[in-house]
Amino acid sequence: MLADELQHKIDFKTKPLGALGFLEHLAHKIGMVQQTISPKLLNPHMVVFAADHGIAKAGVSAYPQEVTYQMVMNFLGGGAAINVFCKQNDIQIKIVDAGVNFDFPEGLNLIHKKVRKSSRNMLDEPAMTSEEYQEALENGKSVVKEIAETGCNIIGFGEMGIGNTSSSSLMMSQLFDISIADCVGRGTGLNDAQLQNKIDILSKVIERYPNLKTVEEIAQTFGGLEIAQMIGAMQEAYHQNMLILIDGFIATVAISVAWKLNPEILNNCIFCHVSDEYAHIKLLELLNQKALLNLNLRVGEGTGCALAYPIIQSAVNFINEMSSFEDAQISNKE
């Protein structure tokens, strides 16, 4: 009934049928999530989870591990891309220490959810123990529960962690039974030789764990602390019936885990952009999802979510504010 009412409201706006293209699909989706023909976006938030990765020590990234904590300090100082775009679009930003290998000083506007300093090196042992993985999930959920109390109904998630495209590539490979070479990209900007080295290292990691069976085992073995917290955060956002903005490759891997556990979660998700990371477009195809933007971004941080937000707001605005043929006394198509 509601689906039909939404479609009727969209169809009878003063425009040719379907002329607003994907915006019409977006408006319908948001109305269905909020169970209303007059949806609203309230107190939008962006949460950036940060953590270090043990596998970074094996040389899978063009940048040293200390860049993770340095970038967290940049976020807190307002100097990163995500800060600029959140400020531009009036989005509240929260930075979470999920497992950065650094002791942050007191007094920072930082959410402290550190499970441990860095995930473990997957060449030697799983990235997390079962207990650490569960703690990370719960930490992510607790962050979103607190944000939900502010009345927020739309939330995006970003990440920072040197080595996290390696974790995400491993997770994609195992979640969807795809060759690791088809899941690996250049991350922070690897050259050809560095890319091949990354593939070789990650192939060795996969060989070390031949008997993983469940989604949880895959995420615990190959994930990062920030990815695990993002998974928990996404699950809680769905529980709170928020709109969930999905950023690039790493965030899409995180939602893939949540989707494997609960396919209904995609009903609340808006995929904001196609990353320039090699495997992201394939991952979107596997989830049967279309992204709003393709700007060749590969910066992470949730930047794609913040950039897509005005488009999402436009979808809500047109369904609420645009005249109908009847209101404007304009003749409709016969």
The whole-angstrom separation of Cα 273 and Cα 81 is 15
Residue 245, phi then psi, degrees to nearest 5: -90, 125
The whole-angstrom separation of Cα 135 and Cα 215 is 17
Catalytic residue among 146, 301, 326, 334: 301
Tokens, residue 321 = 């504010």
The whole-angstrom separation of Cα 318 and Cα 151 is 23
Other Cβ atoms less than 10 A from the Cβ of 263: the count is: 10
Other Cβ atoms less than 10 A from the Cβ of 162: the count is: 27
How far is the CA of 253 from the CAs of 80, 165, 219, 257, 284, in angstroms? Answer: 23, 10, 10, 7, 10
Other Cβ atoms less than 10 A from the Cβ of 198: the count is: 26
Please confirm, yes or no, whether 301 is among the known catalytic residues.
yes
DSSP characters for 219-272?
Answer: HHHH--HHHHHHHHHHHHHHHTT-EEEE-SHHHHHHHHHHHHH-GGGGGGEEE-
The alpha carbon of 40 is separated from its chain's Cα centroid by a whole number of angstroms, namely: 21
Backbone angle region of 261, left / alpha / beta, with phi > 0 → left and psi within -120 to 50 → alpha: alpha
Residue 120's nearest CA partner among 58, 201, 47 is: 58
Residue 198's nearest CA partner among 159, 164, 158, 249 is: 164
Q: Which residues pair with 154 in a beta bridge?
A: 243
SS3 191: coil
The whole-angstrom separation of Cα 53 and Cα 289 is 29
Mind telling me the catalytic residues? 301
